[in-house]
Amino acid sequence: MVTLIWFNGPSMKKWLHVPKQEIEIGCNYILRDRPVDHVVCYDWQMLNNIKPTDGVTRWCRDGFAQQYKGWKEIPLPQHRKPEQSGTLAVTLAVDHLKPEHIIIIGCDWGLSTQSVYDYGIGRRSVIKHTNHQSRVLERLSEQHRCDIHLLGDEPRDVGIPHMSSSQFCELLSIDIKD
């Protein structure tokens, strides 16, 4: 079973057509473009902007679920603190959903600082790619012995294995769309 985790980098748009997988997790406004099973939001300022959707579990970081109706909290150990929705989504997957294979789509760290979503007037998306967040992903991959890959033909600035477009298409038995 493959679990897809959708980050918000521009490369994710190329893959929105892939068949729905058994478990899919997306960040923030992913439901505008694709149905997923879980939506993860790190920033408390956005929690009221992501409306409830049938069949979708909404998750936030610890300390905010009681204040925002319909959100579940992702308990985090002290030694690991994701600081944005993407690494929080991977934490949800490996700590709580426990899939065997994760493919991260739209993690464009080292290639782009852009998000495909507009976060509103006066709300800028902060830089997601930091050494700390790269280490969070690397530790999640190592400590949980979960098979995690970043989808991308160009190398991303994260020390976990990458999967090429052709490998991804072969795995899912689909054709590449440009």
Residue 41: domain span = 2-172
Q: Is residue 34 domain-resident?
A: yes
Q: Is residue 126 domain-resident?
A: yes
Q: Domain with 119 in it: what CATH number?
A: 3.90.1480.10
121-174 residue pLDDT tens? 555 555 567 777 888 888 888 877 789 999 999 988 888 999 999 999 999 998
Q: Is residue 177 domain-resident?
A: no
Output 26-32 pairs: Cβ under 8 A, ≥24 positions apart. Answer: 26/89, 27/85, 27/86, 27/89, 28/85, 28/117, 28/119, 29/117, 30/6, 31/56, 32/117
Give how many domains the chain has, as a whole number.
Answer: 1
Q: Is the pLDDT of residue 177 over 90?
A: no
Q: Is residue 135 domain-resident?
A: yes
Q: Is residue 178 domain-resident?
A: no
Q: Is residue 83 domain-resident?
A: yes
46-74 residue pLDDT tens? 898 999 999 999 999 988 888 888 999 99
Q: Is residue 168 domain-resident?
A: yes
60: nearest Cα among 92, 30, 32, 31: 92
Q: Is the pLDDT of residue 90 over 90?
A: yes
Contact at 8 Å (CB) between 164 and 153?
Answer: yes
- 58 sits in which H/E element: strand 57-61
Contact at 8 Å (CB) between 87 and 43?
Answer: no
Distance of CA 156 to the CA centre of its chain: 15
pTM for the whole thing?
Answer: 0.91
Q: Is the pLDDT of residue 111 over 80?
A: yes
Beta-bridged to residue 103, according to DSSP, are 4, 149
What's the pLDDT at 126?
A: 56
Q: Is residue 43 domain-resident?
A: yes
What's the pLDDT at 31?
A: 96
